[in-house]
Amino acid sequence: MGGSSKGFFLDVIQLLVDGLIITGFMFTSRSINDFIMLGNINNDEECVKEFPQPDGSKVVGNTAVGVVEAGMYIATGFILNGSISGAGGTFFQSIASAILFFILGQMALLVFGFLYELITPFNVRNEIKDNNLAAGIGLGGILIALGIILRSSISGPFTGWANDLAGFGIYAAFGIVMLLIFRVVIDKLLLPTTNIATEVKEDRNVAALIVVVSAINAVAIIIAFSM
């Protein structure tokens, strides 16, 4: 709905088309999240699964999986917003742009999730499957941070496929590297007497991860606005 009006009826048609495309992409993103990002975790099963607590009680529903899925949805929303909100190009070019950058954006998020797992000294997916909310916040939050950067890389007027794709590739790689570096730096600065691995795996410290993820997203906003 942003930008100049093309007339009421054309605006309504474009809104409906964009809405249908975005809805389809969101459901696709959910499948990608469940079967690739989280290693074949079934979200429907996790929603009704019971988890025993230290005091002997039980909690229904895997909140950690829900947080990661929410992070995937929000990051995807940022990417789609960037791909369909720019001026220039035809109506069909905007649709093709949304489809292309959705695919590239999901690939970037998956690569980022894989690299995040590599630099983390514990199995992130196993912790999430065990309903470790701190682990879910860590992964979901950093995916949102990358989504913010990717949105900035593809927003703006259409300047040609070659330029737009090159810009996306450069800033996706730059954003991934910077976020991984700052994740380590923030760990040292904000948790000087401990570390993220201890706070997640041993203490399940949700508060600590909220602080860390908030700082990482602040860095992502700074990177996005500096592009």
Tens-digit pLDDT profile for the chain (227 aa)? 666 777 888 888 888 888 898 899 999 988 888 888 888 788 888 888 888 877 778 888 899 999 999 999 999 999 888 877 765 556 677 778 788 888 999 999 999 999 999 988 889 999 999 999 999 999 999 999 999 999 988 876 667 778 888 888 988 899 999 999 998 898 888 888 888 889 998 899 999 999 999 999 999 999 998 87
Give the pLDDT confidence score for residue 10 in this predicted structure.
84
> Looking at the domain assignment, is residue 2 inside a domain?
no
Distances (CA, A) of 87 to 14, 61, 105: 14, 43, 20
- Count of domains in the chain? 1
CB 41, CB 50: distance < 8 Å: no
Closest CA to 156 of 93, 81, 219: 81
CB 135, CB 64: distance < 8 Å: yes
> Looking at the domain assignment, is residue 3 inside a domain?
no
Give the pLDDT confidence score for residue 222 in this predicted structure.
93
Residue 64: domain span: 8-226
Give the pLDDT confidence score for residue 131 in this predicted structure.
93
SS3 39: coil
Tokens representing 85 are 């909100």
Tokens representing 153 are 């890389």
Question: What global pTM score does this model have?
Answer: 0.89
> Looking at the domain assignment, is residue 1 inside a domain?
no
CB 164, CB 154: distance < 8 Å: yes
| Residues contacting 104, CB < 8 A, separation 6+ | 165, 168, 172
Residue at 195: amino acid letter: N
